[in-house]
Structure 1
Amino acid sequence: MSITTFINLPVRDLSTAAEFFRSIGFTGEQPAPDGSSMMLNLNETTQLMLHIASSFAGYTGVAVTDTSTSREVIVGLAAESREQVDDLVDRAAAAGGTALGPGQDTGQLYMRGFRDLDGHQWSFLHLAG
């Protein structure tokens, strides 16, 4: 069974956020007819839904989390290699995101993280096979 993952995030500016995520490998741009959200694709099974804050709050029924003071989730995505982990985080930092230090290596897992332009925390990881 194949399950598609939809990552939904509130953002301050749809076009700026979309450009940031395109710079690290997401593709496409499917804006909602009302301009309140946009879908980008990482691959066939991972989609990123960006929403302006009011649209996101409408779906959740609560206020949008202030990412300067708290985290609601860390989005973790698997990469094919340690080199790809480093490349993705370096690209995120070059596009204006914040790298969260050097990679962490446990022998079985290599992981690096970053925060996007809206303060959402992400990590890319590679599992040793």
Structure 2
Amino acid sequence: MWLPSNQCNRSYAIVRFPEGMTAEKFLSEQNGEYSYINAATGKEMAGTKCYLIKYEWILDGINLSPKEGWTLGALSTSVDASYAAIADAKVDKTRFGKKFVRKVAGVSAAGNTVLMDTNDSANDFNVVSAN
């Protein structure tokens, strides 16, 4: 089992790199910096190192957040229009023992399950007991 975040306040993407992109090439060509305003202090956090992922490489993404305090995800709204929430607040003790499960959109002509993917995590996932 993979635990994405204890507080469920992260963004994740599934990425397919272009043909010929090696780990070495990615690390040397896609490094960068970003800045943001710290919501708690109002201070600009500048010069933070990162690796840049081009949007055309993203197959799917999800923003996770408690309902309280949601402002904007790290992913563009073209990747995820909103977010999925497991708890009302990041200190909500009821957030444990739950999981996100993608909704089923239907069944293909070949009989395969087709999962919901509207690029809106609030619409695409259910929260259920992890048991």
Q: Common fold, TM-score beyond 0.5? A: no
Q: Larger Rg: 1 or 2?
A: 2
TM-score, structure 2 length as denominator? 0.24
Higher helix fraction (1 or 2): 1
